[in-house]
Amino acid sequence: MRPSGGFSGALYNKPLLRLIEFAQFLALGSAGYIYLSQSFTKLGMQGLLDALAIYSFIIAAYLLVMVAEVADAHYLRALGAFGLLVGCSVGGYFIFFRDAPYLEPAPMGLAIVTFLLGLALVIAYIVLIVGRLVHGKATSAQVAKVADERGAAPSKPVADALRKGLEMMKTEPQPTATTNDMSLIGVSGPYLGKQFALKKGENAVGRSEGDIVLGDDRQVSRKHCLIVWGDTGLTVRDVGSTNGTFVGGNRVMESSLAPGDLLMVGGSTFKIG
């Protein structure tokens, strides 16, 4: 069964979000430039300052979106997107209903076209983010059924890839002895069948940097988690990832690992082997 969340959830990816953010900057920036320059031409410095105060709602919200992108925080993206929608609504009212009648019609006509384009991009941005959240929650319902059968209820939503890993875990024997060679063995997701050797000490896992690079999994954060192989065994620690780190179906900030455990990073599930 295809999880709900629909087209927007399936379409969600960070390159597309960044493209929309850039297009928002061009559209809203162009509209803002026209409005500010017209206000300065008509009313001088005081007009410019008043116009800047109105447009600051939009500027502040867009800066929040940029902070969310740098932090790679999905819920902060959602907050920034809704803030941008509110800022555009408030700013658009004052710009086009209060001030535009007193400014030059031709430039302000171009401003409203670019502004409406920017507003449409903001709405598309929100649809993608909300669709991603709904899609993730829907896929986690299937995982919950499998986890309940095993007596372990997930504390947070997880992807469908973990469900497959849990099913394998029910049928495969789970080793208990430790060895001198430890690795991550892909059991579902983009890295099914792949194996990554672990070294003593710290093993950084991420999408674009680290000891284990999972560049083919778009749900993995740039810096996702840290696997530490110490004298007492393995430990995994999340380092602020967007989609979380899961051990045996439970989202964790830090957890011990043993041979046979299932570790989910982004959309990929690995068995400790």
Query: pLDDT at position 91, please?
Result: 87
For 59, other C-beta atoms within 10 Å of its C-beta total 16
Whole-angstrom distance, CA of residue 238 vs CA of residue 224? 6
Per mean pLDDT, which range of 23-32, 70-79, 119-128 is the poorest? 70-79
Whole-angstrom distance, CA of residue 129 vs CA of residue 125? 6
With contact defined as beta carbons under 8 Å apart, do 127 and 8 qualify?
yes
Give the number of residues written for the chain. 273
Model confidence at 155, pLDDT cuts 50, 70, 90, reads very low
Query: pLDDT at position 135, please?
Result: 59
Query: pLDDT at position 103, please?
Result: 87
pLDDT, average across residues 135-139? 54
Give CA angle at 158 (152, 159), nearest 5°.
Answer: 130
Return the SS3 of 211.
coil
Whole-angstrom distance, CA of residue 74 vs CA of residue 56? 24
Q: Is the pLDDT confidence value at 76 over 50?
A: yes
Between residues 197 and 7, which one has the greater pLDDT? 197
- Distances 247 to 67, 260, 265, 270 between C-alpha atoms, Å: 29, 11, 9, 10
Whole-angstrom distance, CA of residue 131 vs CA of residue 154? 21
Q: Is the pLDDT confidence value at 15 over 70?
A: yes
Query: pLDDT at position 34, please?
Result: 92
Q: Is the pLDDT confidence value at 42 over 80?
A: yes
Task: Quote the crossing angle between the two packed helices 105-149 and 14-71, to the nearest 10°.
Answer: 90
Query: pLDDT at position 17, please?
Result: 80
Query: pLDDT at position 236, please?
Result: 93
Whole-angstrom distance, CA of residue 237 vs CA of residue 130? 27
Query: pLDDT at position 242, please?
Result: 83
Q: Is the pLDDT confidence value at 254 over 70?
A: yes
pLDDT, average across residues 238-252? 86
What is the DSSP secondary structure assignment for residue 101, as one 8-state letter? G
pLDDT, average across residues 47-51? 87
Q: Is the pLDDT confidence value at 158 over 50?
A: no
Q: Which residue from 160, 265, 182 is spatially nearest to 217, judged by alpha carbons?
A: 265
Whole-angstrom distance, CA of residue 33 vs CA of residue 65? 20
Q: pLDDT tens-digit profile of 105-134?
A: 999 999 999 999 999 999 988 888 777 666
Whole-angstrom distance, CA of residue 206 vs CA of residue 204? 7
Q: Is the pLDDT confidence value at 175 over 50?
A: no
Q: What is the percent of the chain with per-residue pLDDT over 90, rounded to a whole number?
A: 20
Q: To the nearest whole number, what is the mean pLDDT of the chain? A: 79
Model confidence at 160, pLDDT cuts 50, 70, 90, reads low
Q: What is the percent of the chain with per-residue pLDDT over 70, rounded to a whole number?
A: 77
Query: pLDDT at position 189, please?
Result: 82
| Six-digit token string for 21 | 């953010």
With contact defined as beta carbons under 8 Å apart, do 14 and 129 qualify?
no
Q: Which residue from 2, 4, 266, 268 is spatially nearest to 130, judged by alpha carbons?
A: 4
Return the SS3 of 25.
helix
pTM, to two decimals: 0.51
Q: Is the pLDDT confidence value at 90 over 50?
A: yes
